[in-house]
């Protein structure tokens, strides 16, 4: 009886220990963990300064059970997402009467710069404007300028109830930039609600959590006062070296960079539970303790997981069942010994392979790169994605590597660049060079580097997959229809020029591509041009005009001055781009004979045709009208300047891009005007239109996005963004 009592007490003690782990406090020792209904996990705290990580995480609990950060009420704190929900956030509103006089506040500002760990979440929030005559802006000024917004319009009070989506009719929405610490919101109105004030006199704008439900909004009954909303604030531990500090997280916890950047967080891996910021850290969950999860066999807890071992002589996954007969003990021992030898051999092989991969990872700079924002892929992941680099996945090859199509586990399409099986030392040097170049680039018309694999002797580069092949293919494949119109040819030329101008003028430091050709210009799903392959590119300082290097590139596209002097300059890219434009206009390869078989230099023949005003003779397409022919002649003249034998006499890439952009804008305006005239003829009546523009400018990337909002004043029927 005594023995049975002792065993029973031991079992109860183990169960209580397990329950203690699961129900352990999320707050620091001797600190409260509840304020009203809100759980306050460390690094947050209240009551005493030592209950929080630092002053930024110290909260205030009111006597009524309300939790506050500064003057903002907190409703929920999530360790997993690194967020807290903030309520009672005021927002701007403006209500008008029949005379057009307004009451309310047109401006609102949220400033978190006093609290370095906190940012306004772009993942869990959205920006919303409400009203039937509402223009809502948001803007920041934190070393860069950013402005964006949306427009909400409506004319029929009954129709508002039938629109469930916030798509511009009575309600508009847009996304919020990442890593914002300040946000300013302002409101304006086109007509001061003069035509609609009876059923909708007010405009509203606010930042609100994604869970906000606007499907039940009735703008006729919406309050004529400042609405109060809830938004989500993200928090991190600031500083790029937080994860390198001495034990920043508790035992078994993982420290990594926040997905949105700006700092780091701790979290418990699968199979563990607890607060990763506390001294006790993450505790292993003993899955075998509470109940046996195995269908058959013995449950054996492992760190972070568990296994189910089948009896000797039986096989299978004990989690779902075991198969076979139980063997006599002697036979089982012999078989077990053989199996053990095989397992040891396999383990030795796996350990050797793992050590080799770890060595390659370190040699390729993995210890530094793994803490950067670039994604690190495993070799196994890319082998599976490319079906072990099967020939069916082969896309093409350049001077330094072959490219394969791949599909990641999340169905993302990628292009994997793998070194050729040649001099490994040289390949490693070339790939390191390409990584250094492409990591400087962030432009919508340049192929994006998604990540690296560092577990091979030569790193593998993983790029975004560009689905519609190369410009070279569409020029020379007669079945392709995309280049059938001059408008598409001009657009592709303009997008390519903008990318090269970005490399020359806006990248830091500037980049000379060095191998501009139609094979290195890819077209995506929407046939948008993207410049690729930076294996021959070089970085230069802003005050440099060129750099001496060994001759690299593709015959036919190379700058003759570069061939003679070995001095690569930005004007070398201009010449190569001029050759691409000749190819785009004539359909001829720069190294091919003319269409009648006569041996002649297509570049010189093109220049002669321009000088003799006979450009129409070398075109491989027919301009639609005289206006298009004038645009073609203007581009041909620009090409002639790009192909000047002297680099000093060639235009810069900025001049080329600006001229092509100007011609493209003229072409777009012409087609838009044609479309409007056709519409007016079909309607049989003229309409009065007013156009408004809201621009969003990001000074880091120097890309400009313009939102055009056009509506018919008389008919009140058209809204297009």
Per-block mean pLDDT, blocks of 10 residues, the chain (721 long): 40 37 68 92 92 90 90 89 85 80 75 83 90 86 72 73 74 87 86 76 88 73 71 81 74 82 83 90 86 80 87 76 69 78 90 85 73 82 94 81 91 88 55 66 90 86 92 91 93 97 88 92 95 80 63 89 91 96 94 62 92 92 91 96 95 96 86 60 44 34 34 33 29
Given this model, what pLDDT does residue 691 score? 37
* Domain residue extents for the chain: 83-235, 287-326, 364-465, 472-670, 671-712
Q: Positive or negative CA dihedral for 25, 27, 30, 36?
A: negative
Cα separations (Å) of 219 from 128, 191, 200, 406, 626? Answer: 14, 17, 6, 49, 52
Instruction: Tell me the pTM.
Output: 0.47
Which ranges in 548-625 belong to alpha helices (H)?
560-565, 570-586, 602-611
Please name which of 151, 215, 152, 147 lies closest in space to residue 176, comparing C-alpha atoms.
147
Please name which of 81, 90, 67 lies closest in space to residue 207, comparing C-alpha atoms.
90
**Given the structure tokens 């782990």, which residue do they identify?**
21
Helix (H) or strand (E) holding 284: strand 282-284
Please name which of 498, 365, 504 lies closest in space to residue 440, comparing C-alpha atoms.
504
Q: Is 220 exposed, middle or buried (0-12, 13-18, 19+ CB in 10 A)?
A: middle
Given this model, what pLDDT does residue 412 score? 94
Give me the CATH topology for the region 472-670.
Answer: Transferase(Phosphotransferase); domain 1 (1.10.510)
What are 461's strand-pairing partners?
417, 452
User: Domain 287-326: which CATH class?
Assistant: mainly beta
Please name which of 194, 248, 187 lies closest in space to residue 713, comparing C-alpha atoms.
194
Q: Do domains 364-465 and 472-670 have the same CATH topology?
A: no
Given this model, what pLDDT does residue 540 score? 72
Is the distance from CB of 203 to CB of 192 less than 8 angstroms? Answer: no
Is the distance from CB of 139 to CB of 184 less than 8 angstroms? Answer: yes
Q: Which residues contact 282 (CB under 8 A, 6 or more apart)?
A: 250, 251, 252, 253, 268, 269, 272, 273, 274, 276
Strand ranges, E, within 62-106: 67-69, 72-78, 83-89, 93-96, 102-105
Token pair belonging to 688: 């009065």
R_g of the chain computed on alpha carbons? 33
Helix (H) or strand (E) holding 412: none
Helix (H) or strand (E) holding 221: none
Token pair belonging to 82: 């690194």
Q: How far, in Å, CA of 357 to CA of 433, rounded?
A: 21
Given this model, what pLDDT does residue 701 score? 35
Is the distance from CB of 246 to CB of 255 less than 8 angstroms? Answer: no
Q: How far, in Å, CA of 57 to CA of 62, rounded?
A: 16
Given this model, what pLDDT does residue 671 score? 63
Q: At what angle do helices 653-683 and 626-642 cross, to 10 degrees?
A: 170
Neighbours of 24 (CB within 10 A): 14
Please name which of 69, 194, 204, 183 lies closest in space to residue 121, comparing C-alpha atoms.
183
Helices (H) and strands (E) in the chain, counts: 14, 38
**Given the structure tokens 């392959």, which residue do they identify?**
533
Instruction: Look at residue 428 and give its three-state secondary structure.
Output: helix
Which ranges in 391-482 belong to alpha helices (H)?
424-438, 471-476
**Cis geometry, peptide bond prior to residue 714 (ω within 30 degrees of 0):** no
Superfamily (CATH H level) for 364-465? Phosphorylase Kinase; domain 1 (3.30.200.20)
Length of the chain as a residue count: 721
Please name which of 122, 124, 111, 119 lies closest in space to residue 185, comparing C-alpha atoms.
111
Residue 403's Cα: distance from chain center in Å? 22
Q: How far, in Å, CA of 467 to CA of 448, rounded?
A: 13
Q: How far, in Å, CA of 124 to CA of 131, rounded?
A: 23
Strand ranges, E, within 473-579: 511-512, 521-523, 529-531, 538-539, 546-548, 567-569
Binding-site residue set for ATP: 418
Instruction: Give the angle 686-691-694 at the CA atoms, nearest 5°.
Output: 165
Instruction: Look at residue 149 and give its three-state secondary structure.
Output: strand
Q: Active-site positions?
A: 515
């Amino acid at each position: 009886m005594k023995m049975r009592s002792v065993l029973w007490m031991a079992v109860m003690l183990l169960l209580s220990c397990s329950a203690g782990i699961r129900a352990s406090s999320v707050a620091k020792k001797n600190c409260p963990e509840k304020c009203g209904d809100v759980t306050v996990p460390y690094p947050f705290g209240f009551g005493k300064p030592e209950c929080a990580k630092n002053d930024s995480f110290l909260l205030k609990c009111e006597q009524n059970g309300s939790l506050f950060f500064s003057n903002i009420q907190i409703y929920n704190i999530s360790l997993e997402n690194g967020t807290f929900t903030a309520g009672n956030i005021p927002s701007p509103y403006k209500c008008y009467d029949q005379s057009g006089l307004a009451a309310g506040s047109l401006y609102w500002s949220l400033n978190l710069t006093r609290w370095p760990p906190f940012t306004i979440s772009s993942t869990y929030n959205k920006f919303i404007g409400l009203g039937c005559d509402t223009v809502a802006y948001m803007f920041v000024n934190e070393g860069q300028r950013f402005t964006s917004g949306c427009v909400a319009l409506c004319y029929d009070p009954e129709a508002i109830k039938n629109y469930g989506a916030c798509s511009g009719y009575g309600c508009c929405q847009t996304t919020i930039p990442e890593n914002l610490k300040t946000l300013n919101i302002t409101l304006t109105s086109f007509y001061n609600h003069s035509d609609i004030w009876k059923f909708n006199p007010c405009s509203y704008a606010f930042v609100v959590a994604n869970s906000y439900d606007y499907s039940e909004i009735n703008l006729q009954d919406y309050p004529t006062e400042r609405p109060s909303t809830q938004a989500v604030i993200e928090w991190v531990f600031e500083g790029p070296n937080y994860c390198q500090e001495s034990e920043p997280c508790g035992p078994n916890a993982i420290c990594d960079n926040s997905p949105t950047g700006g700092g780091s967080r701790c979290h418990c891996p699968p199979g563990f539970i607890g607060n990763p910021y506390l001294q006790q850290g993450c505790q292993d969950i003993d899955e075998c303790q509470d109940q046996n999860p195995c269908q058959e066999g013995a449950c054996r807890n492992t760190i972070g997981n568990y296994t189910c071992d089948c009896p000797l002589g039986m096989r299978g996954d004990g989690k779902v069942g075991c198969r076979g007969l139980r063997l006599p003990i002697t036979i089982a021992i012999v078989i077990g010994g053989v199996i053990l030898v095989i397992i040891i051999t396999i383990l030795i092989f796996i350990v050797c392979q793992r050590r080799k991969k770890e060595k390659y990872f370190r040699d390729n700079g993995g210890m530094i790169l793994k803490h950067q924002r670039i994604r690190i892929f495993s070799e196994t992941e890319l082998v599976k994605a490319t079906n072990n680099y099967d020939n069916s996945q082969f896309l093409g090859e350049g001077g330094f590597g072959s490219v394969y199509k791949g599909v990641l586990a999340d169905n993302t399409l990628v292009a994997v660049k793998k070194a050729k099986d040649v001099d490994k030392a040289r390949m490693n040097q070339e790939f390191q060079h390409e990584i250094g170049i492409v990591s400087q680039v962030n432009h919508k018309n340049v192929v994006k580097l998604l990540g690296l694999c560092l577990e091979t002797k030569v790193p593998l580069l993983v790029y975004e997959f560009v689905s519609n092949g190369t410009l070279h293919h569409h020029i020379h494949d007669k079945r392709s229809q995309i280049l059938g119109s001059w408008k598409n040819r001009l657009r592709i030329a303009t997008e390519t020029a903008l990318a090269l101008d970005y490399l020359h003028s806006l990248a830091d430091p500037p980049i000379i591509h060095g191998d501009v050709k139609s094979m290195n210009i890819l077209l995506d799903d929407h046939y948008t041009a993207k410049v690729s392959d930076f294996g021959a590119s070089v970085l230069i300082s802003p005050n440099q005009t060129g750099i001496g290097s060994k001759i690299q590139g593709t015959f036919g596209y190379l700058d003759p001055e570069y061939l003679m002097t070995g001095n690569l300059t930005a004007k070398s890219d201009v010449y190569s781009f001029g050759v691409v434009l000749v190819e785009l206009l004539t359909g001829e390869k720069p190294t091919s004979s003319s269409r009648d078989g006569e041996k002649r230099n297509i570049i010189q023949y093109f220049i002669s045709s321009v000088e003799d005003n006979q450009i129409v003779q070398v075109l491989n397409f027919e301009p639609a009208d005289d206006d298009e022919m004038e645009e073609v002649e203007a581009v041909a003249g620009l090409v002639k300047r790009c192909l000047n034998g002297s680099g000093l006499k060639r235009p810069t890439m900025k001049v080329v891009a600006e001229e092509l952009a100007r011609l493209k804008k003229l072409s777009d305006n012409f087609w838009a005007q044609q479309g409007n005239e056709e519409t007016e003829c079909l309607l049989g009546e003229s309409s009065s239109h007013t156009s408004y523009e809201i621009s969003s400018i990001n000074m880091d990337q120097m890309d400009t996005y313009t939102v055009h909002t056009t509506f018919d004043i008389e008919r009140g029927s058209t809204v297009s963004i």
